[in-house]
Amino acid sequence: MGILEGKRILVTGVLTDASIAFHVARIAQAEGAQVVLTGHGRLSLVRRIAQRLHETPPVLELDVTDTEHLDTLADRLREHVNGLDGVLHSIAYAPQSALGGNFLHTRWEDVATAVQVSTYSLQALTSAALPLMGPGGSIVGIDYDASRAWSGYDWMGVAKAGLESCSRYLARDLGPRDIRVNLVAAGPLRTTAARSIPGFDGDDWDRTAPLGWRADDISPTARAAVALMSDWFPATTGEIVHVDGGAHAMGG
C-alpha cells in the first residue's frame, strides 16, 4: 500500500509534464491516490498532459481570480470524488513588468495581479475546497524561499513572502479542524514558469547546496509534497519544508 492509499487529492497548476504539479500528481497516483486536476486557459493542453499519467484524471477549469469558478468548485468536484484529503496549491503568476529588475517602477495594477494570483489564491482555493475536507486533511503549497531578495524575482518574491505568511494564518485557523497547511520551498527548477524569470540559473544553486542540486530533477520536490499530504506528518502545520539541497542553510 502507498502512503496515499485511498486518499482523494486535488492538484492545481499542471501546465506541462515539466510542471511540479504534474510530478506531484504522478507520484500521488503511484502512492494510491485518486487525483483530480485543475487547469486554466489552455484546458485542451492540460487534458493531453493528463493522459500521460498512469490513470487519466478528470480536469476541471479553475481560474483562481474568478469568483464563480471558486464558488462552484466543491460541487464540480463532487461529480468525481466524494471528498478531499489533500490539495496542492501550485499557482503563481506575475506580469513581466513585475519581474526582471523593474521593482521600483512596477505599477500597482501589476503588483495586485501578482499578489492575487500567487498569494491570496492560497486562501481562496483552500476556502473553496473546505466543504469537501474533513479531519486529517492537508493543504500543501509550492514556495520559493522568500527570506532573501533574488535577482530578477522582484514582486514575485514579495508575493511568495505573502504566501508564507498566508499559510501560517491558514494553519492557525484550520488547526482546530485537524487540517494541516504547509509549504514546500523548492530550489530553482527548470519548469515552464521558471523560464519567464529573467536571470534564472539553477546551476549556481548546485555550487551552494551541500547535497548538490539538479534543476532538471523535479522528483524530490514532488515527493516532499506527497509526503506532507500523507498521514506521516500528523502534527506538522504552518511549516516550510525546504527541498533545495540545503542551500537555504548555508552562508554566503
Active site residue 153: yes
Which is catalytic among the residues 120, 144, 160, 169?
160
Cα three-residue angle 243-245-246, rounded to 5 degrees: 90
pLDDT digits (tens, 9 = 90+) for 82-93: 999 999 999 999
Q: Could you tell me the pLDDT band of residue 197, with boundaries at 50, 70 and 90?
A: low
Distances (CA, A) of 234 to 12, 154, 166, 180: 23, 35, 20, 8
Alpha helix (H) ranges present in the chain? 20-30, 43-50, 67-78, 108-115, 121-129, 154-174, 202-208, 219-229
Mind listing the domains of the chain with CATH numbers?
Answer: 8-249 (3.40.50.720)
Q: Does residue 193 register a pLDDT over 90?
A: no
What is the arithmetic mean of pLDDT over 193-208?
67
Which is catalytic among the residues 93, 144, 153, 169?
153
With H, G, I as helix, E, B as strand and everything else as coil, classify residue 163. helix
The x, y and z cell numbers of residue 21, run together, are 504539479
